[in-house]
């Protein structure tokens, strides 16, 4: 079986590219509804800083320590994806960040794509009052889409297969750009998203909110930095790139069919494993994605598909 891989132009976006991209997008991001406290907490000086970066004394772009956590979702805005799951989760995430602002970061949630339900959900987004979460819908130039994906700290997939057989290509793109994902579960998802290794599988808005808060608890720059679930800063590559055990692999494949309690237990085990390696759960997932990226599209095609076509 040949599983698709992202093309090589999906990768982590470097700081200079981030500085340019978010400099160009800032006016659009700042003009959106809600999330005002994020823009107050992360002030931007035109040319010198963006939401994610600032120039150092030598004029080089570097990540700013007070930057927001970036969540990214891509959607075609159709009934196949229930976007209300993400919005309901973000209400809970905002409540937690509002209650403990020194523990959780502000969140910038970017949603790319266009489709028939976009206006409907944009009205819902505008009606929300989420001071610690800024939700922005974007339609990007083709060259900028891989760049924005490469800026994500976490991808969110709401794709549910109507046939039960197709896998979300947006997750393939996110993995290509090095971003772990939280993905709504359906029967064949385990072929792509391995719970506790390359991402987390959820079944409801409440479960998604719990996962996001766990991953960003103590985001770098907060007083709780270093707690389980903190961001990418510091630590070592989780598991030192070692493979899943057979038992873990079996669970990962079937995670979308497991109960919420079983997934939560597997998540706790993965977080404990990350802590033992001096890392965080988010870093552990990023390391799992890095393993999955070791084989790119060309290698995958040449080894698994090309011989079959040559035989024909």
Q: What tens digit of pLDDT does each residue of 44-77 get? A: 999 999 999 999 999 999 999 999 999 999 999 9
Closest C-alpha among 169, 71, 75 to residue 120: 75
Identify the band that residue 160 occupies on the pLDDT scale cut at 50, 70 and 90. confident
- Please, are residues 260 and 267 in contact by the beta-carbon 8 Å criterion? no
Closest C-alpha among 187, 162, 190 to residue 171: 190
d(C-alpha 281, C-alpha 220), whole Å:
13
Q: What is the pLDDT of residue 85?
A: 97
Q: What is the pTM of this model?
A: 0.86
Q: Check residues 235 and 13 and name the one with the higher pLDDT.
A: 13
Q: Is residue 86 over pLDDT 80?
A: yes
Share of the chain above pLDDT 70, in %: 86
Q: What is the pLDDT of residue 223?
A: 41
In the chain, domain spans: 15-293
The topology (CATH level 3) of 15-293 is Rossmann fold (3.40.50)
- Predicted confidence (pLDDT) per residue in 231-290, tens digit: 333 333 434 434 445 455 555 555 767 888 999 999 999 999 999 988 999 999 999 999
- Predicted confidence (pLDDT) per residue in 164-215, tens digit: 667 889 999 999 999 999 999 988 888 899 999 999 999 999 999 999 999 9
Q: What is the pLDDT of residue 230?
A: 36
Mean pLDDT of the chain: 86
Highest mean predicted confidence (pLDDT) among 116-130, 215-229, 234-248 = 116-130
Q: Is residue 308 over pLDDT 80?
A: yes
Closest C-alpha among 124, 128, 178 to residue 151: 178
Crossing angle (nearest 10°) for helices 205-216 and 260-276: 10
């Amino acid at each position: 079986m040949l599983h698709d891989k992202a093309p090589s132009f999906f990768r982590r976006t470097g700081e200079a590219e981030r500085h340019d991209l978010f400099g160009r997008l800032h006016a659009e991001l700042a003009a959106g509804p809600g999330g005002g406290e994020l823009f107050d907490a992360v002030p931007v000086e035109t040319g010198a800083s963006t939401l994610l970066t600032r120039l150092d004394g030598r004029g080089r772009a570097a990540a700013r320590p007070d930057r927001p956590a970036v969540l990214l979702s891509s959607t075609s805005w159709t009934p196949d994806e229930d976007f209300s799951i993400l919005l309901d989760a973000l209400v809970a995430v905002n409540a937690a960040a509002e209650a403990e602002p020194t523990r959780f970061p502000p969140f910038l949630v970017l949603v790319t794509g266009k489709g028939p339900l976009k206006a409907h959900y944009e009205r819902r987004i505008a009606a929300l009052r989420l001071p610690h979460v800024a939700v922005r819908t974007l339609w990007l130039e083709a060259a900028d889409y891989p760049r924005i994906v490469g800026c994500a700290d976490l991808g969110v997939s709401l794709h549910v297969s109507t046939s039960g057989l197709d896998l979300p290509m947006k997750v393939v793109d996110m993995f290509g750009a090095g971003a772990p994902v939280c993905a709504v579960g359906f029967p064949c998802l385990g072929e792509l998203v391995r719970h506790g290794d390359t991402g987390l599988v959820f079944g409801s808005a409440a479960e998604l909110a719990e996962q996001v808060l766990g991953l960003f608890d103590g985001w770098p720059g907060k007083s709780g930095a270093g707690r389980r679930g903190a961001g990418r800063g510091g630590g070592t590559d989780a598991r030192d790139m070692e493979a899943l055990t057979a038992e873990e692999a079996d669970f990962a494949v079937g995670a979308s069919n497991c109960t919420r309690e079983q997934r939560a237990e597997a998540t706790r085990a993965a977080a404990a494993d990350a802590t033992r390696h001096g890392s965080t759960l988010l870093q552990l997932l990023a390391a799992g994605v890095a393993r999955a990226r070791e084989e790119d599209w060309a290698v995958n095609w040449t080894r698994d598909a090309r011989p079959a076509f040559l035989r024909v």
